Amino acid sequence: MLRSLGASARSGGPAVQTISPVDAHAVDDAYIIDVREADEVARARIDGAVHIPLGELVSRVDEVPRDRTVYLLCAVGGRSAQATQYLAAQGVDAVNIDGGIVGWYRAGLPVTTSAD
């Protein structure tokens, strides 16, 4: 189920839509963008997720689909919330995965680790 969080007082931006990891995993053919750094993704990742580090998102925004919902993920949800807010302002249907990859893992969902 999608939730909408009010914008933080510091950001002053629009509300950020969120979704639980379980609900995001249940979306058929979900387009997930992982905004973590390369070393973080190397340690644990979701198969099929597209890696665009947060620091590169602005310069790579043309790679983000405009014709479907995009789900954003980071470690625990802070950076992906920023990315979600930015993409929403660009007209993208963007949704933050609540709790990031930590929440995904804690929900028992599949994660590929460097040990795999």
Residue 24 annotated to the active site: no
Looking only at the bridges linking them, the beta strands covering 44-45 and 112-113 are antiparallel
Catalytic residue of the set 35, 57, 72, 74: 74
Long-range contacts of 9-13 (CB under 8 A, 24+ apart): 11/82, 11/85, 13/85, 13/89
Gap between the Cα atoms of 49 and 36, Å rounded: 11
29 conformational bin, left if phi > 0, alpha if psi -120 to 50, beta if neither? left
* Cα–Cα nearest to 84, from 42, 32, 27: 32
**3-state DSSP assignment of residue 23:** helix
Catalytic residues: 74
